[in-house]
A and B are shown apart, each in its own frame.
Chain A
């Protein structure tokens, strides 16, 4: 008789096992991956937020040719409905004959020319053509760099490949790492400016009120560039003049390394955190690295007050925290626990680097249950076994329909003290409805 129950571990059990003994049930390579709305962001990263296709179109005025079997381009019908993406995707269908003969590669330069001419006929000269290829070409070992160069010669525009290789998502260079490298490779060597800094990592801007902007301005930075705020291709190219890069998402690290090697632009990495004291420590370390004092006492105070306002209004809130949101579920859960709230469940995929959060979390709330969205028995997940006043993350909302929901998965990125403030206010607003 099969026990219809979702497998989970308590925080204490996971901490006891430690980072070297993560249960097999929580390792994606050892079992089938369950498909539910809670795993959509994992299986199809472009479905919500930025996957390779949307990310590949981050450069202003760019268009994309998706060269793939029809199935790979199918979800683009919904992406193309997002503002700013209509008429920017084109497709070259691969057939089974293409697989055998690789004849599709010979057609690509001409296809690029046709879509550029098509755009020009509508009065739009693209700035860049991205060629998106998928798992099939990963297996065929296609040299798309060479094909892109041929296309470039034909149309007189930059043409870059981007690789939507789902097969390599847990490899050395996953697709979302590669796409960032592809984009930043376009930056030419140019004279450096001591007053220019890039924020790398996201494909949408940080929230306007983020203290990073004022901190950087206060130390004399005049141009803070993010790919998503560049209004033209020319402005995007100016990202190559930066004095240093701030890497805000680990998937941008490889691109920053490339820029360090190629353009001699150093980088500093910052992590998105929701624990106010840890944010402060991180800024102190950042300041030491660049030789300035980095602090934002007003923003810090606002964050503390936002936490306090929520705590005063609803001191007994119980949260469930998912991974389909702008944050690390273990770090955010730890922050909520440290602020005095309860966390009954976390839906995440524990990795060794998460134990820096899981260990203290287990001390504060050893009975917090940790589920893995992808684990097959999540088919039997039963929400009645846990209390949830508020869910954070779209996956958490899926499991606890009746709770108050803060999806926290918007394109615009929360960061730093301002991110904490915004989150606390969003929770307060949602539970006060």
Chain B
């Protein structure tokens, strides 16, 4: 049945992706919920939450607030918090509750803006889409609201990276790998938006030499930055070659992939990067397909690539695909116990909910 899950727990939702982009920027993040969504976002999808304080709040909505549409009460709460918390902006992050009651985010932004002298970001996530949808909205809103037009280009050579939040990456250490790879290409400063970037970095985002988009969620913001500020962008996963070698361990990569049929499941840009590398190592003899439960750009899909929705999609793909090697999160393994080929663990925190900071 469509929508029925027997094996997998729901993936990280859009509101978690939005929160993750904004977590370290020094703003007041307000999840428009009754508390449960905030608990889930922070307690399960935000690994930084247990080690680094950030001004994340639940709107603390109650049934009558939702039924009566008491936006004024919410604005009063925002006004009150802005008087007591030192922050650079306020972000309103949606959940199913405002979605059901049809909250007008523009009106809410205007109402809040009259009372609070801080930039307001409004992100209309609804908890019914996966994390990268919220991440994409948050990046775009961030760039639209906070980037300053008249900043002078830096003397140093800077590069921006979009799409490197913990939910996008197979390992926490990939942030450092991306940074090191880009530095080795001559960049003095690598700004990972949604990771270590500060609010000042975002305000100066128009001054970077280029943006690197490492997950599909960063594309819209990159396009906006190109159109509005002339910042060019490229799409790639820097360090994919290193990642692949580390994933397969001591095996000879050329021998391992030569002539084999390979399936990769992750976010599309990372998976495409691994595909390129596998092709290179196998001297073009490996047949590689990419699939993802998350956003896939049609123009970056090859024949045989597949956007998955249901559990059955994965089971059918593996059953009928005749693959020799699968690179995917271990959580998916129990759905296809009959698969007899090689399985290389390619963790996806957004799927499994398991995060290992030591990796």
With known contacts A2-B83, A30-B77, A74-B9, A47–B3 Cβ distance under 8 A: no
Indicate if A31 sits at the interface (CB-CB under 8 A): yes
Cβ contact within 8 Å between A169 and B35: yes
Contact call B62/A379, Cβ cutoff below 8 A = no
Instruction: Specify which chain A residues have a CB less than 8 angstroms from the CB of B9 in the assembled complex.
Output: 73-74, 76-77, 80, 89, 91
- Shortest CB distance B198–A (Å): 18
Given contacts A35-B57, A74-B353, contact A92 B44 (CB under 8 A): no
CA distance A376 to B58 in the complex (A): 10
CA distance A80 to B6 in the complex (A): 12
CA distance A114 to B5 in the complex (A): 10
Q: Is B306 an interface residue (CB 8 A)?
A: no
The verdict on B30 contacting chain A, using a C-beta distance below 8 Å, is yes
Q: How far is the CA of A164 from the CA of B39 in the complex (A)?
A: 14
**Minimal beta-carbon separation of A93 from chain B (angstroms):** 4
CB-CB contacts below 8 Å: A163-203 with B: 164-171
Chain B residue with Cβ nearest A170: B62
Whether a CB of chain B sits under 8 angstroms from the CB of A34 is: yes
Chain B residue contacts of A33, Cβ below 8 A: 35, 38, 57-60
Known: A95-B128, A114-B1. A72 touches B77 (CB 8 A): no
Does A29 touch B at the CB level, under 8 Å? yes
Docked pose: A44 CA to B38 CA in angstroms: 8
Q: Does B36 contact A (CB under 8 A)?
A: yes
Given A70-B130, A93-B5, A135-B36, CB of A31 within 8 Å of CB of B60: yes
B164 to chain A, nearest CB (A): 21
Of the stretches B45-53, B136-144, B147-155, the one at the interface is: B45-53
A285 within 8 A of B: no
B contact residues, range: 35 or more
B49 to chain A, nearest CB (A): 7
Return B330 CB to nearest CB of chain A, in Å.
13
Assess the B77–A167 pair: CB atoms within 8 A. Answer: no
In the complex, how many angstroms separate the beta carbon of A177 from the nearest chain B beta carbon? 14
Answer whether residue A288 sits at the interface, using C-beta atoms and an 8 A cutoff: no
Asked if A377 is an interface residue, CB under 8 A from chain B, the answer is: yes
Point out the residues of chain B lying under 8 angstroms from A290, CB to CB.
none
B97 near A139: Cβ-Cβ < 8 Å:
yes
Is the Cβ of B81 less than 8 Å from the Cβ of A376?
Answer: yes
Instruction: Tell me whether B96 is interfacial, beta carbon within 8 Å.
Output: yes
Asked if residues B35 and A166 are in contact (CB atoms below 8 Å), the reply is: yes
Q: What is the bound-complex CA distance between A170 and B61, given in angstroms?
A: 10
> Shortest distance in angstroms between A201's beta carbon and chain B's nearest beta carbon?
23
Contact of A71 among B49, B80, B83, B127 (CB under 8 A): B127
**Could you tell me the distance between the alpha carbons of A111 and B42 in the complex, rounded to whole angstroms?**
30
Asked if A353 is at the interface of the complex by the 8 Å CB criterion, the answer is no
Give Cα distance in the complex from A91 to B311, angstroms.
11
Q: Smallest distance from the beta carbon of A207 to chain B beta carbons, Å?
A: 27
B86 surroundings in chain A (CB, below 8 A):
2, 4
Given contacts A2-B84, A140-B100, A166-B34, contact A71 B95 (CB under 8 A): yes
> Nearest-CB distance from A173 to chain B (Å)?
11
Stretch with Cβ within 8 A of A (4 or more), from B11-19, B218-226, B243-251 = B11-19
Interface string of B39-79 (1 = CB under 8 A from A): 11011110001100101111111110011000000000110
Is B35 a contact partner of A111 (Cβ separation < 8 A)? no
Residues of chain B with a CB closer than 8 A to A136's CB: 96-97, 100
Asked if B84 contacts A90 (CB within 8 A), the reply is no
Complex CA distance for A374 and B57, rounded to whole angstroms: 9
Name B4's contact: one of A39, A72, A80, A90 (CB within 8 Å).
A90
Q: Which chain A residues (268-324) contact chain B, with CB distance < 8 Å?
A: none
Contacts of A104 in B (CB 8 A): 3
The answer to whether B56 and A35 touch across the interface, beta carbons within 8 angstroms, is: yes
Q: Is B37 an interface residue (CB 8 A)?
A: yes
User: Which residues of chain B are within 8 angstroms of A4 by Cβ–Cβ distance?
Assistant: 86
Give the residue name and chain of the A residue nearest to B83 (CB): A2
How many Å from the CB of A156 to the closest CB on chain B?
Answer: 19
Is A94's CB within 8 Å of the partner chain B?
Answer: yes
Q: Which residues of B contact A28 (CB under 8 A)?
A: 60
Known: A47-B43, A71-B15. A107 touches B58 (CB 8 A): no
Question: What's the nearest-Cβ distance from chain A to residue B6, in Å?
Answer: 5
Residue of A nearest to B101 (CB): A139
**Taking A91-B9, A139-B97 as contacts, is the C-beta distance between A43 and B80 under 8 angstroms?**
no
Check if B43 sits within 8 Å of A90, measured CB to CB: no
- Separation in Å of the B293 CB from the closest CB of chain A? 11
Nearest CB of chain A from residue B283's CB, rounded to whole Å? 40
Docked CA distance A44–B37 (Å): 8
Q: B352 contacts the other chain (Cβ, under 8 Å)? A: yes
A91 touches B4 (CB 8 A): yes
CA distance in complex: A2, B80 (Å) = 12
When the two chains form the complex, which single residue of B1, B58, B129 contacts A35, counting CB atoms closer than 8 Å? B58
How many Å from the CB of A272 to the closest CB on chain B?
24
Contact A44 to B40, CB < 8 A, known contacts A111-B4, A114-B1: yes
A96 beta carbon closer than 8 Å to chain B: yes
A-contacting residues, B91-121, CB 8 Å = 95-97, 99-101
Whether A74 and B10, one on each chain, are in contact in the complex, defined by CB atoms closer than 8 angstroms, is yes
Q: How far is the CA of A90 from the CA of B99 in the complex (A)?
A: 24
Q: Which residues of A contact B5 (CB under 8 A)?
A: 90-93
In the complex, besides A36-B53, A44-B39, A92-B3, 6 extra interface pairs with C-beta distance below 8 angstroms are: A4-B86, A71-B16, A77-B9, A166-B36, A170-B62, A171-B63
Give the B-binding residues of A (Cβ under 8 A).
Answer: 2-4, 28-37, 39-40, 42-45, 47, 69-78, 80, 89-96, 99, 104, 107, 110-111, 114-115, 118, 134-136, 138-140, 164-171, 374, 376-377, 379
The 6 closest A-B pairs by CB, nearest first: A44-B39, A43-B39, A71-B127, A77-B353, A70-B10, A166-B34
